Amino acid sequence: MARAKNDIKQSLKLIDIVVEVLDARIPKSSSNPNILEFAENKGRIVVLNKADLADDTETNKWISYYNLKGIECVKTNANTTENINKIIEKINEIGKKIYEEKNKTKKIDLKPIYRVLIVGIPNVGKSTIINKIAKRNVTNVGNKPGVTKQNKWIRVGNNIDLLDTPGLLWPKFEDEEIGINLALTGNIKQEVFDIEEIAMHGIEKLKSNTKYKELLKNKYKLEDDDLRQDSYSILEIIGRKRGTLISHGDVDMARCANMFLDEFKNGKIGKITLDFIK
């Protein structure tokens, strides 16, 4: 991790534009509190990826939030290529401005190459986005954190160089709430947290939001009475309904929590956002 960060810092001198890829379900928890370390004096684009899994109303609020700060923000579904073209447009727009500014005093007419750093937490979809921008598989993708191991430059068309980087977890990961959000969206490895506890937090979060409570209720065919119980009991009811049982008819809570978390992170419960603009 320290090495990856250092490698990025080394490459920064060459960079014109920083593209920060966020998980649209958790724009706050997946953002870098020190992004200005990377983006100072550079062009900046925020990409809210996996927008197909997030609550559209909330995603649009996040876009306005960034735009109000004067930061370009695009929502994407990198799996289906939705809005990927918008990222390319923004890179060209911002890149052109930066080059015009740099070359104001010179009379040269070189064809510029825009150098673009792609950063974000593990598993957020950085490499998928790059493959879609390049329109071919130039870098490895995988449904688990830590697939990209080192920095890799990729030439796209004749005027963009993209730098794919390994996912970095930001220091604020120590904040419990953020840890929970990262676990629920599958952005940290499962081995590092207690799955039953995280599943209970997930149920709690859904229960406390009127819209998401309905999604939970419909998905697992729960009654209003069930939803009045504590999250452990609700998880147990879900396990019973789904038949994740061990001997004597008891619920296998670990298996049930795993199933719930899998469905949660893959959007099977519905389009859910966990970070809200206050």
Ligand X SMILES: Nc1nc2c(ncn2[C@@H]2O[C@H](COP(=O)(O)OP(=O)(O)OP(=O)(O)O)[C@@H](O)[C@H]2O)c(=O)[nH]1
Residues at the site binding ligand X, with contacts judged by CB under 6 A: 49-50, 52-53, 76-79, 120, 122-128, 141-143, 145-148, 166-167
Residue whose CB is less far from ligand X, 31 or 128: 128
- Rounded CA separation 81/268 (Å): 21
Measured CA angle at 10 (ends 30, 33), to 5 deg: 25
From residue 76 to residue 115, the character string flagging contacts with Mg ion as x (rule: CB under 5 A) and all else as - is: ----------------------------------------
* Closest to 53 measured CA to CA, from 20, 88, 82, 73: 82
User: Rounded to the nearest whole angstrom, what is the least distance from the CB of residue 242 to Mg ion in the complex?
Assistant: 33
User: Rounded to the nearest whole angstrom, what is the least distance from the CB of residue 77 to Mg ion in the complex?
Assistant: 17
Could you give the strand order of the β-sheet that contains 72-75, starting from the edge strand earlier in sequence? 72-75, 43-49, 17-23, 114-119, 160-164, 152-156
User: Rounded to the nearest whole angstrom, what is the least distance from the CB of residue 149 to ligand X in the complex?
Assistant: 8
* Closest to 236 measured CA to CA, from 224, 247, 219, 222: 222
- Rounded CA separation 221/204 (Å): 17
List CB contacts of 216: < 8 A, sequence separation 6 or more: 203, 206, 207, 222, 227, 269
User: Rounded to the nearest whole angstrom, what is the least distance from the CB of residue 37 to Mg ion in the complex?
Assistant: 21
For ligand X, which residue has the nearest CB? 167
Residue whose CB is less far from ligand X, 24 or 199: 24
Which of ligand X, Mg ion, none lies near 142, with the C-beta cut-off 5 to 8 A by kind? Answer: ligand X
Please give the size of the binding site for Mg ion, defined by CB under 5 A: 4
- Rounded CA separation 95/43 (Å): 8
Residue length, the chain? 278
User: Rounded to the nearest whole angstrom, what is the least distance from the CB of residue 118 to Mg ion in the complex?
Assistant: 9
148 binds Mg ion (CB under 5 A): yes
- Of residues 127, 181, 187, 273, which one binds Mg ion by CB under 5 A? 127
Residue whose CB is less far from ligand X, 91 or 124: 124
* Closest to 128 measured CA to CA, from 80, 170, 184: 80
Q: Look-up: residue for tokens 């929590």? A: 257
User: Rounded to the nearest whole angstrom, what is the least distance from the CB of residue 154 to Mg ion in the complex?
Assistant: 12
List residues near Mg ion by CB under 5 A. Answer: 126-127, 147-148
